[in-house]
Structure formats: C-alpha cells, structure tokens
Structure 1
Amino acid sequence: MFSEKDFIASNYTISTTEGSFEWSAPSNIALVKYWGKIGSQLPANPSISFTLNNCKTITKLAFSKKQNDGDFSFDLLFEGKPKEDFKPKIQKFFERIFEFCPYLKDFHFTIDTQNTFPHSSGIASSASGMAAMAMNVMSLERLLNPEIKEEYFYQKASLLARLGSGSACRSVKGEVVVWGEHKEITESSNLFGVEFSSIHDNFKNYQDTILLVDKGEKQVSSTVGHDLMHNHPFAERRFEQAHENLSKMKFILETGNTEEFIKIVESEALTLHAMMMTSMPYFILMKPNTLEIINKIWKFRNETQIPVCFTLDAGANVHVLYPKDTKEKVLQFIKDELVGYCQNGQYICDEIGHGAMSI
C-alpha cells in the first residue's frame, strides 16, 4: 500500500505545452458518517458511502505552459461564466496539493465547471467538484509521467480530492467506498478512499431520491461543525460507535440484510445531527419539514413493510434510500405524501453509480 511520501511527484520527464482534460465526478452519501477531522483533512473516524450517479460535477481543465514559475495561475468559469467567489477554494486546493503536484506552477489553467444538479439546490457540490478537479490534475500528471500505474492514479486522485474536501475522496472510484482506517477493511486508509466490492445483490442499483427541503446556505458550515468535535463531550464514544457500525455495515452489505441496513443508516443520520445539537456552540441543521418527512417514512414503512429508509447529510435535505424493485411504489409515496414538504416541490432521483468518468 502506498504511503503519503509515495504520492510526491518527482519522475515526470515528458514536456508538454498545452492541452485539456474533462472529467465528471459524482456526489456521494455516507451510510456511516465521518464527523470530525484530525491533521491535514484526515478523518477522526472511518466512513462508508454510496457513490451517486446523476448528481455530479463536470469539469474541464485546459492548461498552457507558462514562461516563469511564479505562483498558481488560473481562470475559473462556472457554467461558462467567470465565477470569482469560487477562486479562493481552488487557490486553497492548489496550495494543499502542491507538495504532491509541484508541476502545478508550471502552467496556467482555465477551469470550466458545471453541476448536473441545480446550483444552490442544497446538495453539497464540494465532494463532486473536488473529485473532478483531482481527476483532471492526475490526468495532467499521467501525461507528464506515462509510467503511472492505474492503482496509483486512482489512489492519488482520491488523496488529492480529500485535500480539497474530505468526503470528495469517496467520489473517485467504486459503487461503495470506505474512507478511514478500519481493522476489518483490507487496505483501508485515512489518506484515500478504497472501493468496497463485496456487495450483495440486494444493494445493487440501490435508489436515492433526494428531497430538497431547504436550498439556502447552512448557518453553520461543515468545516466549523467538524472542528467542534475537538472538545465535544461525546466525541470519543462517537468515534468508537462509527467503528462498530462500520463492522456491522460491512456484514450487512455482504449478506444483504435490508432490515439491519435500515437500523444502522437511520441511526447514523440521527447521530450525526445529535453531535451538532450537543456541541458547544450547538446548532440545528434539520428543519421542521425534515422531521415531518422522517415521520412519514416511518409510518409508510410500518404500514407497507417496504424497506425504504432515510439518511441525512450535514443539512436539512433528506435522502430516501430503497431497492430498485420498490421504485414505482416509493416514488408514488414520495409524490403523494412528501413532495409538499420540499422547497418548491423539488426532488432529485438518483441511484448508485461507479465514480468519476473521463469525458
């Protein structure tokens, strides 16, 4: 397994003057949540996520050789138009990954990015956006050093994505991805996400309908929320719980037990928000309609025995998870009973995907 030092580029010998790459990378939704950071964008506990398919970022990276090294040089376009307020994020990303990608100061970049989901829809685009950026950077590195092997390419891309946004490392490759060291997951690492491949047929083509409860900006950012775990009274027990739940989730995904899947997924979602409500300062990201939807899902599941459940990210939106063979009934339930709790009646239908793709 690669160490951090192995990812410092040093053997690039091919000279290139200009070119471009284009990648799409999806968002993901954690089943066992990561909440709390240590060191340089490292997770305080391991997590596991479903990779999504439709909610993705598409980013084109054009590059041209500069005459002098100087500093980072780039233009940023969002949906074809200059987007100055995105530039500080890219600047910070380049600064964080420069140790591993020293060739970045040799080029001027034009970054043109867009999302397949509505901007400011309340869906976190940092995971998909940073994963797409990382794939483009690694494509440039592979151009400069064609000797790069496939495994190295994807693991370093995941490491770079992590330095842009922690959960982005889970959007690079695989249907189900584990990030963070765990004793039962072979080659699991804090540095990058690893593909979890032992998935029972019950979880193949799993569906995720995202109910857009609140599209506004969160009053507390995820970065601040992660930092509040440092002195959290329940942090250590939470980190232990995440390890325990990941062990359970590994067995569940391998054996196809949807009943136990529901228990862990919903408990993890509520635990994530419990950590927010018990930090100091405390905060609540759920909205009244979030709770209404959760209660409706519980009632529907109890009455129909359809294995539908919810999970939440660090926000108010609700991810409704269910097997593909129940799609027709669940979507009818969503239209009949849940759409009224969504902002402007908006929701997005998604499903498990495979990770980043070159365009």
Structure 2
Amino acid sequence: MKATAKAHPIQGLVKYHGMRDSELRYPYHDSISVSTAPARSKTTAAFDSALDDDRLVIDGDEVTGRGRERVLSVVDHVRERAGIDHRVRFESENDFPTNIGFGSSSSGFAAAAVALCEAAGLDLSHPEMSTVARRGSASAARAVTGAFSHLETGVNDEDCRSHRIETDLEDDLRVVAAEVPAFKHTEQAHEEAEASHMFEARLAHIHQQISDMREALRTADFDAAFELAEEDSLSLAATTMTGPAAWVYWQPETLEVFERVRELRNEEGVPVYFSTDTGASVYVNTTAEHVDRVEEAISELVPTRVWEVGGPAQVLPESEALF
C-alpha cells in the first residue's frame, strides 16, 4: 500500500477567488489554468497498519498546524473512500521555489491525491481524482488533469471537478517564470474575498471571461488567450487589495517586470503577456519563437527559469519513491 506520484504546478489563467464552502473547497466560480513543466512536486504515500500516527513531511520538514489539517483532509477522504483506517507515512518534495506565487499548493496536493489514491487501491480517472485533490486546494484539481484544464464550480463532486481542454497552444506556449521571493497568504485572501466591494463586480464578468478563454484556446489564439490572462490578473489583484486585510502582493520588481513586458510588446512587437496569481512572482507568457528574447529581457531584472506546458499528474515507478 505504497505509491509515488508527481504533478506540475499551475498558472491560473482565469483564476478562482473565494470559496462558498471552505471545507470541501467549492469555489464561487469556474477557473482555467495551464500546468507548467518541468517544475514538479513529488509525493510518496504508504498506508501502514504498524504506524500509530500519521507522519507528514514536506521538503524535509514535519507538517504541523493548518498545513497538517489540509493534508489530512485529503488523506481522510481517501481512507473513507477506500474503507481503510491505517495511518499514513507521507513525504513530499518540490523542485521549484514555493510560496512565492508559482502554484506549489496545486502541484503538492495533486501529487498527494494521486499517490494516496494509488496506495489505497482506488481506481479513479483523473477528473475523479481531481475531486480528491480539491479538498486540499481547488487549484490542485486542475493540476491533476494537467495541461490546459477547466475546473467547474458546483456543490458536489459530480459537478465540481476538473477536465482537460484540448488546444494546439500546448506545443507553442513558453513561460518565463520571473522569481520575486515574497511570502504570500493565499488561503486568508480566499477567506475574505466576499468582503471586498470588488467581489460582486468580479463575479459579474467572470463567466464571460471563462467563455472567451475557452474559445481562445479552442482556436489556438495565443494573443486572445494571454491578453485575457493578463486582464484577469489585474482583476484578481483589485479584489484582493480591496478586502479587509488590503493584501498587496506585488513588489517593485513585479511592476518592473510588467513594464518590461509592455515594452517588448508595444515597442518590439513581441507576443508576450504577464500574469500573476496571489503572489509577487510573475508568469511571462510568450511563444517558442520569442522565448529567448523574452528571457534575456526579463533576466536583467530578476532570476528566471523557462517552463513549458506540463501534462497530468501521474504515478511514478517504485524506484522514484522518497522512502
């Protein structure tokens, strides 16, 4: 009863914000994202009758507090579905910077869900496993199905699950990840989303954003898709900044990257757009043809790495287990 899995983090394109149910993590509205590779989280999970307590380790550190509660919400759901009561040994590691706006919770909970389901002997499809991962992080549902994925809202697991969107943009997209290491508080921002006077305005237009993004992906219209992602990043920031805690995630380096992206687009005609989730780091989206020029320009400002589109979460061979 042991398995190892990996998943790639996601970049939110039309991002969800706020949850109608904080325990089951049903978001208020649909969301669309793209997974970024080769960045990945890897998790090994083993259910063991000899253990007297759950042992949870992430990046070498024991998981405590709210982090432990979130992981156990996924573990307990798998135990319930599988009809087992064994304790679990759980270890996870990331190979990219975490908690700075690059979606580490998405890949972490996606890898956890797939490893746990496999270790428990559950035979589930990726959309079905996305409902397991969602209990840890709604964005993790989309990391399970991978590539370009759409998480539909709902109030049950039949409706609120992720599905992959097929698009020819998978081969051409390149993401220059611009690292701005500033700690973020995503969960708290979701909790207070409704209190922002901008929240109702966001809900009013988000359905059209989803429809327009799906059409841009269907027709492989790069500029339309990533102009929408850029616009949605600004909308999300407006909502978080006008909540009770007045979260301002962006740093001076974030704004410098925005300005450089606009210079490349407006002065050099490069197809390039910025996008942020709840964090200071920036996804700089461009095409394979222009990625070298874009990375050269952005790396003058902050550390960078280049990512491509990643596939769904997957089970790994036993030789890659973490223990």
Aligned to 2:39: 55
Counterpart selection for 2:160 from 177, 191, 210: 191
Q: Is the 8 A contact 1:20 1:62 kept in 2?
A: yes
The answer as to 2:222 corresponding to 1:222 is no
Q: Is the 8 A contact 2:34 2:149 kept in 1?
A: yes
> Matched residues in 2 for 1:110 and 1:99: separation?
16
Counterpart selection for 2:72 from 83, 94, 112: 94
Structure with max Cα Rg: 1
Where does 1:163-312 land on structure 2 (aligned, <5 Å)?
Answer: 163-181=135-153, 191-197=160-166, 199=167, 201-213=168-180, 215-218=181-184, 221-312=185-276
3-state DSSP of counterpart to 1:355: coil
User: 1:269-299 CA distances to partner (integer Å, 9 max, x unpaired)?
Assistant: 1111011122223221111111111011101
User: 1:293-349 CA distances to partner (integer Å, 9 max, x unpaired)?
Assistant: 1011101111121111110010111100111122222222223xxx33x2xxx2221
Q: What is the aligned-residue identity percentage?
A: 24
What is the Cα deviation at residue 254 of structure 1? 1.3
Equivalent AA in structure 2 for residue 25 of structure 1: A
Q: TM-score, normalised by structure 1?
A: 0.79
Q: Is the 8 A contact 2:273 2:286 kept in 1?
A: yes
Mind listing any 5+ residue stretches in structure 1 that lack a counterpart? Answer: 1-18, 183-187
Q: Is the 8 A contact 1:66 1:106 kept in 2?
A: no
Equivalent AA in structure 1 for residue 54 of structure 2: F
The answer as to 2:126 corresponding to 1:157 is no
What is the Cα deviation at residue 119 of structure 1? 4.8
> Matched residues in 1 for 2:78 and 2:2: separation?
20
Change (3 A) 1:232 1:59: same
Q: Is the 8 A contact 1:262 1:307 kept in 2?
A: no
3-state DSSP of counterpart to 2:311: coil
Counterpart selection for 1:354 from 288, 292, 311: 311
- The count of corresponding residues between Structure 1 and Structure 2 is 311
Counterpart selection for 1:44 from 9, 22, 28: 28
> Matched residues in 2 for 1:86 and 1:321: separation?
36
Change (3 A) 1:154 1:222: same
Q: TM-score, normalised by structure 2?
A: 0.88
Q: Is the 8 A contact 1:27 1:56 kept in 2?
A: yes
Equivalent AA in structure 2 for residue 159 of structure 1: T
Q: After the TM superposition, which parts of structure 1 deviate over 6 Å for at least 4 consecutive aligned residues? A: none
Q: Is the 8 A contact 1:73 1:105 kept in 2?
A: no
> Matched residues in 1 for 2:50 and 2:92: separation?
22
Mind listing any 5+ residue stretches in structure 2 that lack a counterpart? Answer: 317-323
Change (3 A) 1:33 1:189: farther
> Matched residues in 2 for 1:316 and 1:263: separation?
19
> Matched residues in 2 for 1:171 and 1:99: separation?
18
> Matched residues in 2 for 1:64 and 1:99: separation?
17
